[in-house]
Amino acid sequence: MTLTPRRSGWIEVISGSMFSGKSEELIRRLRRAEIARLPVAIFKPKIDDRFSKDEIVSHSQQRIESSTVDDVNEILNLARDAAVIGIDEAQFFSHEIISVVKELARVGKRVVVAGLDKDYRGKPFGPMPELMAEAEYITKTLAICMQCGEPANFTQRLTRDEEQILIGETDIYEARCRICFKPPEE
């Protein structure tokens, strides 16, 4: 018996708070696929231009080339020749990403998706809960609480901005543990 599907594709989800190493883990898996000489296609949403427009960049400055897409449905055509597909910042895509990822897996692709599982309020973020429900493999990453040093599973927003999507780094967000996390008042 094997734990890796042989005749079908599958979905892997890497989730956690900001600063927990999600993109770093995604890059690691995609690099290993490249070392194995598998054709790889890598994508990120157009909205995420913090470090680079044509690369996924981790907070530790690891980089891998990627394509930027505005509409998640573009991935179906762009990934046609790939065996392994990587998608970063999945929480920023529409819920259509779920059907795209399922279709890629159905036609035999290995799909590795990374994204925030919770928003700054501690609530499930975008399509991530449904992607986790569809996945064969889930990796939950933890950061270190920037207040007390305990394992952190929450993203604390440091500004009073109320929109769900606010692109930023350490100037706007901190990783926090359950005790140090202070959700905004509803």
pLDDT per position as a tens digit, 30-72: 999 999 999 999 999 887 666 667 777 766 667 778 899 999 9
Q: What pLDDT is stored for residue 1 in this prediction? A: 43
Q: Is 89 a catalytic residue?
A: yes
| Catalytic residue from among 12, 24, 25, 89 | 89
pLDDT per position as a tens digit, 84-118: 999 999 999 999 999 999 999 999 999 999 999 99
Domains of the chain by start residue, with CATH: 10-142 (3.40.50.300)
Q: What pLDDT is stored for residue 80 in this prediction? A: 95
Q: Could you please report the per-residue DSSP string of the chain?
A: --SS-SSS-EEEEEEESTTSSHHHHHHHHHHHHHHTT--EEEEEETT--SS-SSEEE-TT--EEE-EEESSTTHHHHHTTT-SEEEE--GGGS-THHHHHHHHHHHTT-EEEEEEESB-TTSSB-TTHHHHHHH-SEEEEE-EE-TTT-SEE-EEEE-S----S----STTTEEEE-TTT--PPP-
How confident is the model over 168-181, as a mean pLDDT? 87
How confident is the model over 157-172, as a mean pLDDT? 75
Q: Is the pLDDT of residue 3 over 90?
A: no
Q: Is the pLDDT of residue 164 over 90?
A: no
Q: What pLDDT is stored for residue 65 in this prediction? A: 81
